Chain A
Amino acid sequence: MSSSKKIQNKQSQHPDEWKKIADAKLKHRVKLANLPFPEKVKILVELQKIDNAFAKASGRKTGKVWKI
């Protein structure tokens, strides 16, 4: 069975739990979106650092981490 099919099965078996997870995730994303601009830029730099670490490990070329 494909992984997407497995997820669909789980979703249909436990719809309330999946809805709770999806709602919590959206709530968190809205909180992030409501942050002030400079706070978002700080998070962006953290994302760049994470991406750079993965890129380095896999030999992938990536951009430069911002110095703010």
Chain B
Amino acid sequence: MDETLKIINGMVKKGVIGGYAIGGGMAADYYGEPTLTYDLDLFVYFASDADSCELISMSPIYKYLLDLGYKAEAEGFLIEGILVQFLPPYNDLIREALDYAKSVMYNDTRTRIFSLEYVLAIMLQTGRPKDKIRLSNLHEIMKDPNTKTKPDYDKLGKILTDHGLKDKWDEFIEENTK
């Protein structure tokens, strides 16, 4: 994965993408126990992003990676043995998560990942069965006194309120403390 991240960091350096952060299942795994996933979801600022209403173009990413000899596969690219999906920040919550992603190290390689508070809020908002399971697993781990997975509850509360998820969170907590 080091090599994959180095290629992606190179894309940022060369301006192919404006920046990125790891989200999806891998971000949940970063804070919780490892669970099965086959793709590395990257939320990216596209080169033409800004706040324009332009259609997002994936072509610079395709061109750059194809030129490097990587293959497009399924909905992503196979980069150094890992299937990477490049996703746009498709709503305000994701955009904010991308803006406030934290910088972490993977061995010797620097990368960015959604912070725990945003991972929780996104799973709650998305609400697919697999997100509900991941959220419930993370919540169990967060409650344990020996865990390193501790959200900043003030920050989480603000995110939930700002994005209209407070009631949904309260419902989730009620269901998961029975």
Contacts and interface: CB of A to CB of B under 8 A. Distances in A.
B31 A67 contact: no
Interface size class of B (residues with CB under 8 A): 20 to 34
A27 interface: yes
B30 A40 contact: yes
Interface string B82-108: 110000000000000000000011110
Nearest to B104: A37
A29 B29 contact: no
Interface in B102-116: 104-107
Chain A contact residues: helix, strand, loop or mixed: helix
Contact of B140 (A26, A34, A37): A26
B82 A43 contact: no
A59 interface: no
14 contacts: A26-B141, A27-B144, A30-B141, A33-B31, A33-B147, A33-B148, A33-B149, A34-B146, A44-B37, A48-B36, A51-B36, A66-B81, A68-B1, A68-B81
A30 B147 contact: yes
Contacts of B32: 33
A64 interface: yes
Interface of A: 26-27, 29-30, 32-35, 37-38, 40-41, 43-44, 47-48, 51, 62-64, 66-68
Given A38-B106, A62-B38, A68-B81, A29 B1 contact: no
Contacts of A66: 1, 38, 81-83
A68 B2 CA distance: 8
B94 to A, nearest CB: 21
Contacts of B36: 44, 47-48, 51
Interface in B1-17: 1-2
A24 to B, nearest CB: 12
B33 interface: yes
B34 A32 contact: yes
Contacts of B57: none
A33 B80 contact: no
Contacts of B144: 26-27, 30
A66 B113 CA distance: 19
Interface string B144-175: 10111100000000000000000000000000
Given A35-B34, A68-B82, 10 more contacts: A29-B141, A32-B34, A33-B31, A34-B148, A40-B29, A43-B34, A44-B37, A47-B36, A51-B36, A66-B1
